[in-house]
C-alpha cells in the first residue's frame, strides 16, 4: 500500500522498478552487482531508497555518460 505523502522521501523496490521500467528482481540483481546504490534499512524487512540520494546518483551517471560520449 502506498503512503499518501505530498513528496516521498523514500521509495520501495517496486517504485524503483517502475521508474526504470524493469522487473523488481532486476533491481535486486543490480544491487548485488553494484550497478545502483544500496537501499537504506528503515526497519526489519524494510529497505527503501532515499529519493534525493537516488536522483544525485542518476545525475552523476548521466554526467559520466555525457563525458564518455563527448
Going by pLDDT thresholds of 50, 70 and 90, the confidence category of residue 68 is confident
CB-CB contact of 10 with 48 (8 Å): yes
**Grid coordinates given for 58:** 542518476
Predicted confidence at residue 2, as pLDDT, reads 54
* Per-domain residue ranges of the chain: 10-69
Q: What is the band of 3 on the pLDDT scale with cuts at 50, 70, 90?
A: low
Give the model's pLDDT for residue 8. Answer: 78
Extract long-range pairs of 35-41: CB within 8 Å, 24+ residues apart.
39/13, 40/10
What is the DSSP code string of 2-55?
----SS-SEE-HHHHHHHHTS-HHHHHHHHHHTSSPPPEEEETTEEEEEHHHHH
Amino acid at each position: 500500500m502506498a503512503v499518501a505523502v505530498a513528496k516521498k522521501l523514500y521509495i520501495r523496490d517496486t517504485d524503483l522498478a517502475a521508474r526504470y521500467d524493469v522487473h523488481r528482481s532486476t533491481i535486486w540483481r543490480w544491487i548485488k552487482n553494484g550497478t545502483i546504490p544500496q537501499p537504506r534499512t528503515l526497519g526489519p524487512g524494510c529497505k527503501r531508497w532515499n529519493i534525493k540520494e537516488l536522483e544525485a546518483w542518476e545525475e552523476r551517471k548521466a554526467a559520466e555518460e555525457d563525458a564518455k560520449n563527448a
